[in-house]
Structure 1
Amino acid sequence: MLRINLRDGEQVVVNGAVLRACGRTALWLENEAAVLRGREVMKPEEANTPARRLYFACMMAYLDPAGRDSHQEAILILLGDLINAVRALHARMACATFARLVAEHDYYRALAECRTLIDHEAKLLGGDGAPAAQAH
């Protein structure tokens, strides 16, 4: 069982459906579901760097089980490109952990690991990251 507390106006995605709280709301999920808070959701136009594209593909695999095979293929290609590009040990370790989590179909935890890569990438590029990059 999972309890999610939402502030007034906060969004949550449950199995692909976007829900918005009206007033302070507590939701109890009593079975397994794909759940992302609004700040964890990345819009397609925000997937504009290698790590962000990887996050978006993983998010889609998590939220769209029917299309998971095509998302998995995209993840493998994007991850391969990212592994070849990163040099920092902690970023390479994050790639390895991400790969393990995706192989285990633990997409939610893989998204958290990918946020580490987005943060690393933002520091290298001198940016401050998008909302999904800062959700922890």
Structure 2
Amino acid sequence: MALKLSLKPNEKLILNGAVIANADRRATLIVHNKASILREKDIMKEEDVNSPAKRIYFPIMLMYMDGFQSKYYDEFALRMTEFMSVISTPEAIADCVKVSKDVMDKNFYKALVNCRKLIKFEAERMGQLES
């Protein structure tokens, strides 16, 4: 089954480690085989890793793009353990378990999707603390 991507003008994506930029018009790409693809909105730069949940997301993203390398997995495991040791919300704990299971099953894109829930949870909590 092919994956159809519609790209906005000047939108970037990473395809199997290669950064691809669209030109000045909307474009459609069709990918016919399995590939590691991240759209610009899903790419996190190292300088943007500024919270515990983002410290979980980043090594998952690197595993997805570069393969299951132990240095990325070790960082993920450390950060997930730290995060889980300070939360008690059942829904957040369940999301952590989903992310961990996805990583263990090497479903990295799914792990990224589920990790975004942790980033949202964290942002909501931080917002509540600032009020």
The TM tier, using the shorter chain, reads over 0.9
Q: Which residue of 1 aligns with 2:113?
A: 112
Question: Out of 22, 25, 29, which is 1:27 matched to?
Answer: 29
Q: Look up the equivalent residue of 2:10 and give its one-letter code.
A: G
Q: Greater Rg, structure 1 or structure 2? A: 2
Q: Look up the equivalent residue of 1:112 and give its one-letter code.
A: V
Q: Look up the equivalent residue of 1:59 and give its one-letter code.
A: M
TM-score of the aligned structures, taking structure 2 as reference length:
0.92
Shift of 1:75: 0.8
Q: 2:106 and 2:26 mapped to 1: Cα distance? A: 32
Q: Which residue of 1 aligns with 2:89?
A: 88
Aligned length in residues: 126
Question: Out of 61, 64, 81, which is 1:62 matched to?
Answer: 64
Q: 2:70 and 2:63 mapped to 1: Cα distance? A: 8
Q: Which residue of 1 aligns with 2:50?
A: 48
Shift of 1:61: 0.6
- The DSSP-based 3-state class of the residue aligned with 2:60 is helix
Q: Which residue of 2 aligns with 1:13?
A: 14
Please, what is the CA RMSD of the aligned residues? 1.2
Can you give the 5+ residue segments of structure 2 that lack an aligned partner in the other structure?
none
Q: Look up the equivalent residue of 1:37 and give its one-letter code.
A: R
Q: Percent identical across equivalent pairs?
A: 30
TM-score of the aligned structures, taking structure 1 as reference length:
0.89
Shift of 1:55: 0.3
The Cα offsets for residues 86-116 of structure 1, whole Å up to 9 and x where unpaired, read as: 1111100000000110000000000010000
Q: Which residue of 2 aligns with 1:72?
A: 73
